[in-house]
Every structure is written in structure tokens, then in C-alpha cells.
Amino acid sequence: MRNLTCIVCPIGCALVVEGEEQGAAAGEDGFPALTITGNRCPRGAVYAREEVRAPKRVVTATCPIAAAVSANGTGRGLYAPGRIPVKTLSPCPREKIPSLLADIYKTKVSVPVKAGDTVIADWNGEGINVIAVRTVS
């Protein structure tokens, strides 16, 4: 038995998932059959099933900004940030997050960059795009 709090909507239903034990009888999809209770809508059951079988997360991080030299040769301005916030557009499988973060931290972003610009496209063929969250010029 596993207790979860649904995060699909603001209600935050208290979900109880049963039947995930090793050796439980497999259902049609090859996974052990799950019994989910406590959800007030069908989305809660879908969330619980995904969270137990293949958890995913949207990843947020920061990328270093490539050193830019201004016209007067002084480099970035006094208040210019050294990093830019980024996030994934789609959830990443939880076991792959450390590898994704390593790649994000190695990626240097050239300015100017606008919020929504793609920083990493189709990461490792997973269909996960990383975008800039803030505009930096």
C-alpha cells in the first residue's frame, strides 16, 4: 500500500494505491493490477498509476551564460546575471533527471536570449525540450 497526494488539481485528493507488490498478478498491460481509492475524479487515478509505474517530473535548473564582450570591451554589465533559468517543456522520467541536469549545467547560453527560446532541443532523442524562462539581453 502506498499513500499519495494528487497534484493534478488544487483539491489534492489523498490517494491510496494497493496492489503494487512484487509478484502481484499482472494486468492486461503487463503491470500488477492496481486498486486506487480516494480520487474524486478520473484524473487522480491516472496520476496515481503513472506515479507508481513510471514517475516523471518537469525539471527546472539554470544554465551558465556564455561570456559576452560588449562594444566597449568590458564584458557583461555590472548587474547582468551569470546564469539563466531554464525548464523542460515536458516531464522527464525520474531516473534520467541526473543525466539531464548534467547536460543542462554544461550548456552555455549565448545572449541575447528570450523567454521561451529553446536551449536544448530533443534531449537524447527523448522528445524533451529545455527552454529559457527569462529574457536576458
- Give the angle 75-76-81 at the CA atoms, nearest 5°: 150
CB 6 within 8 A of CB 48: yes
Determine if the peptide bond prior to 112 is cis (ω within 30°). Answer: yes
Question: Rounded to two decimals, what is the model's pTM?
Answer: 0.75
CB 84 within 8 A of CB 96: no
pLDDT in tens, the chain (137 residues): 899 999 999 999 999 999 865 545 555 566 678 899 999 999 999 999 999 988 999 999 999 998 654 444 555 555 567 899 999 999 999 999 999 999 999 999 998 999 999 999 999 999 999 999 999 88
Side chain identity at residue 69, one-letter code: V
The phi and psi torsions of 67 (rounded to 5 degrees) equal -60, 120
CB 48 within 8 A of CB 15: yes
Side chain identity at residue 64, one-letter code: P
Q: How many CB atoms lie within 10 A of CB 68?
A: 14
Domains and CATH numbers, the chain: 2-54 (no CATH), 57-132 (3.10.530.10)
